[in-house]
Structure 1
Amino acid sequence: MRDKAPYASDPRQSLGRLYAASASPTRSDFQRDRDRIIHSTAFRRLQHKTQVFLHHGGNHFRNRLTHTLEVSQMARSMARALGLDEDLAEAVALSHDLGHTPFGHAGERALNAAMADCGGFDHNIQALRVVTLLENRYAEHDGLNLTWETLEGILKHNGPLVGPDGAPCGRYAEEGLPAGLDVLAVPADLRISSHASLEAQVAAIADDVAYNAHDIDDALRAGLIVLPDLIDVPLAGPIVREVLARYPDVASHRQAHEVQRRLITRSIEDVIATTSANIAASGVHSAEEVRRAGKTLVTFSPQLAEAERGLKAFLFARVYRHEAVMGPVRESEAVVQRLFARYLQSSDMPGRWGEAGRAVQGAARARIAADFIAGMTDSYALDEHQRLFDARPEFR
């Protein structure tokens, strides 16, 4: 096994947890974080949450859990090759989607719109709410009591939230920062203007690699595209051409798998080579210097990054906006909107959620409703819709 690089995160130098925890004789703090995430209720729910294709479509399409496991495997492989802490990379990868709503990004869009007057909804902030507040399994505290480094990675794996001048940047430049950052129970300032660790950056790019390869695979399974459609598409096209030339007579599902695995391998090898060069050029020698580097160091090469943008544009036009996807998307957005409006008006939520909602009004009730809806699986959201409105969309 490769020795840790000097710029890798070191669990022995962690900024710690919010609540004191006894030392483990067999696991590092980052390993304990990983294990707490895997054993959480929110993690198990991912198996019944949409990735791209809604759950009714078939048993072989990816859901949030299978996507998360694939991201985790890729993140761990890249972290090992780069001499980083594999356990932290895995912990961030396993937790990066814990804040996602039912029905994939459609549910998030609907909930963000519904919460527009109350600070909006962001799945990264929601993931932090899950692991610091909403998980309530432990006898002594709410949340999972994760280390600062894992919490930082959940929040900032896609980069800083604000620039050096304090202005929102990246995905937050237009809408501003989502509500809730100032009330998170964390052991130390998460420093939203700095980059996260290399381990968190690895988890983020593993997410991109997984999306590209596996959305192609699912789109082929769904019959939305066929392999020849990809021949002239950036990044995927050259791989499709070589697979079809080498294996012209094998079954199409075998050809598709060859394309998928080669796309993953080439993307990951490009990231490892490019990131190694980026790190060397940056001169960083510690995890703290990584945070102060002023730029993302885990990247694709410029050539692959440009090709990847072309592939994403193809997938957006031919898959994500295909009517077979958009029809269910519109119906699922309507389900989330109706549930939120009902809960906001009457707090007609079951159990402790209803009790908490009836005790408050306005933005406080809205946030409780958003927490409740975000934690739902696809099927539970449909059950609630059936209970409240005596109707159950079939998404067909």
Structure 2
Amino acid sequence: MKRRVNVIGVGMTRFAKPGSSPDYHEMAREAGQLALNDAGIPYADVEQAFAGYVYGDSTCGQRAVYELGLSGIPVVNVNNNCSTGSTALFLARQAIEGGLAECVLALGFEKMERGALGSKFNDRENPMGQHAQVMLDAQGFNSAPPAAQMFGGAGREYRWRYGTRRETFGKIAEKARRHASKNPYALFGQVLSLEEIMASEEVFDPLTRFQCCPPTCGAGAAILCSDEFAARHGISNPVYIAAQAMTTDFASSFNEQSMIKMVGYDMTQAAAHSVYEAAGIGPEDLDVVELHDCFTANELLTYEALGLCPEGGAEQFIWDEDNTYGGKVVTNPSGGLLSKGHPLGATGLAQCTELVWQLRGTADARQVDNARVALQHNLGLGGACVVTLYRRD
């Protein structure tokens, strides 16, 4: 039988711009120690660690974990592009659920460089080569950052299909800034009007600068354990993972000449369906969602892929403000990647941290009333999508 997996400790650093953060191992130490303190356990109780980062040398995971202690435990380095943090969480959950360990650390960190993401190894096949070919065939290339061309192209495909206004995408960024203004961990806490967002320079239609997530540095961590471990340590009614799924690209990502499919729509839809089925609930049962809003276009697409609104219904969902407080489901109360920031290896664990706080009722000014069911969506092109459902009884 599969065992229930509890999240008994979480922690994260305040995110920072490249060049203004501590080194990766120092950020990891802060997040990891916060998670241990939150769980009320010593590092010696941790039996395994999964450490996620995208940009760094081999065994950075060990160097980061060693800041917490030197106990000889297995440390596994994880790299799954922007879904790295939630992939570390996925592996930690499997270790507990499968009975291989009682207490596991999932740790994510990133020390990023300024500017748009780029390839580090140009003497071999690019893992995004198939995705780039879809973009070349569908819309060609220009001088904009490649990720903006991909997600912006998906947004443009959606806009042409449904006649969606450009301002609809801007409304998502407006919400993100409003939510982030109540989050002390967010990189950008300044509220922006829709007019200011739309007036910022265009990056790739329909995206303006304030609709694109910034390169960010930071770290996040979670302590997972079994019911038996929690009971031995006097931990009652913890947040637990009710269901979780990871998907990778389907044939539709490449053979339908669709930018929407290429950037992960079908991965998200399949992972969400698996999670809902396993948990015995539907999207209408969700109270709060942290989803992968690397660009406003992806947040809009993800509403539909997760079933938060019908296909073609995202524009009404957004303008009716069903994506915020007082609406159907609060999305990205943290401010999301757009405003909280996106340190690739840490993002999934920062999402986990926010949702655990929400389910505990400790999210302060951004608390969602009576939150009991939370969904996390973390996407990495190349590709992997992790969807996690959390509950608290």
TM-score tier by shorter-chain length is under 0.3
Q: Which is helix-richer, 1 or 2?
A: 1
TM-score by length of structure 1 reads 0.26
TM-score by length of structure 2 reads 0.26
Q: Which has the higher contact order (CA 8 A, sep 6+)?
A: 2
Select the structure of larger CA radius of gyration. Answer: 1
